[in-house]
Amino acid sequence: MSTNEFIRWNSGLQTPVLFNHHEPYEVNSTTIQRVDLNPISSTPRALLNQERVLILSPLRDAAPYLVKYFDLLTDLTYPHDLIDLAFLVGDSTDDTLAVLASELNRIQQHPDAKIPFHSVTIVEKNFGDGGYSQDVESRHGFAAQGPRRKLMGRARNYLLSASLKPEHSWVYWRDVDIVDSPKKIIEDFVAHDRDILVPNIWFHRYRDGVDIEGRFDYNSWVESDKGRRLASSLDKDIVLAEGYKEYDTGREYMARMGDWRNNKDEEINLDGIGGVNILVKADVHRSGINFPCYPFENQAETEGFAKMAKRAGYQVVGLPNYVVWHIDTEEKPGNAA
């Protein structure tokens, strides 16, 4: 190699120089733990990225529904080794805890390696009656809604704080009394890449052999000018509840929209949401957006959660044509019916 060739060959190379170089500091104490949340993300390619999902279900007097609950859960097509389950059992008067333990043992000991979930956590916490000892009609009456929704918010927050781990990308809230839902619901939902996403909640009720396809959850709604004026006139400690003559909000309910026969990916923006089925990016919860157990903009629990999330700039989205089927509680309809 000639001198000129050598100069040309080295023209793009520079000798690295280190200033004030420090050797790595080694920590060997077993009492010090490092948590790096930077690699944890929630993306529409959750399956490809092996993103972990936490399924949360608060339980109270849920024994009659648990077998069906786990039948539907085991049918989920998202890999079970990427799913963690957590339950809060509180104030039950039936055999909820024993049935839960039995069903979990059946699932986690299943010979098919694709059936057991990555982990299970059971949290026990009693909060008091909160009106749950009343009959169905009284429990869902207007007077019971404020205390009941506040209690439910507390239960969700306790379950969330005890169960959310650094490795979780998604939090999937799922009520125990769902009777039918798509097997690919997790994949379907993460594909939307929304901060908070809820489906429509209906129920089956047959009259003369025909399913009336009843609309169940009126807590998912779009705010109205009438609702805003009403809220601005109320004491800050009042909790609004939908479907009651005491407060007519004029809101537009997702339950009245949509049809499961239409495009299931159609989206609408929501201002309030129900709690039957919610998918949340885990960082929304990590940022402090939880379920108010107090009036937040005159809403509590899941509706307060939606209000809080929107105040913080997060997306709250509903799928009017994507239907998850709830049990028929045979409640009397209110304003929203």
Is the whole-model pTM more than 0.85? yes
Instruction: State the pLDDT at residue 12.
Output: 66
Looking at 64-68, 133-137, 301-305, 306-310, which range is the least confident one? 133-137
**What is the chain's mean pLDDT, rounded?**
92
Instruction: State the pLDDT at residue 8.
Output: 72
Position 336 confidence tier, pLDDT thresholds 50, 70, 90: very low
pLDDT tens readout for residues 24-76:
889 999 999 999 999 999 999 999 999 999 999 999 999 999 999 999 999 99
Position 337 confidence tier, pLDDT thresholds 50, 70, 90: very low
Q: At residue 116, does pLDDT exceed 70?
A: yes
SS (H, E, C) the chain: CCHHHHHHHCCCCCCCCCCCCCCCCCCCCCCCCCCCCCCCCCCCCCCCCCCEEEEEEEECCCHHHHHHHHHHHHCCCCCHHHEEEEEEECCCCCCHHHHHHHHHHHHHCCCCCCCCCCEEEEEECCCCCCCCCCCHHHHCCHHHHHHHHHHHHHHHHHHHHHHCCCCEEEEEEECCCEEECCCCHHHHHHCCCCCEEEEEEEECCEECCEECCEECCCCCEECCHHHHHHHHHCCCCCCCCCCCCCCCCCCEEHHHCCCCCCCCCCCEECCECCCCEEEEEHHHHHCCCCCCCCCECCECHHHHHHHHHHHCCCCEEEEEEEEEEECCCCCCCCCCC
pLDDT tens readout for residues 137-186:
666 677 778 899 999 999 999 999 999 999 999 999 999 999 999 999 99
Per-residue pLDDT averaged across 308-316, rounded?
98
pLDDT tens readout for residues 204-241:
999 999 999 999 999 999 999 999 999 999 999 999 98
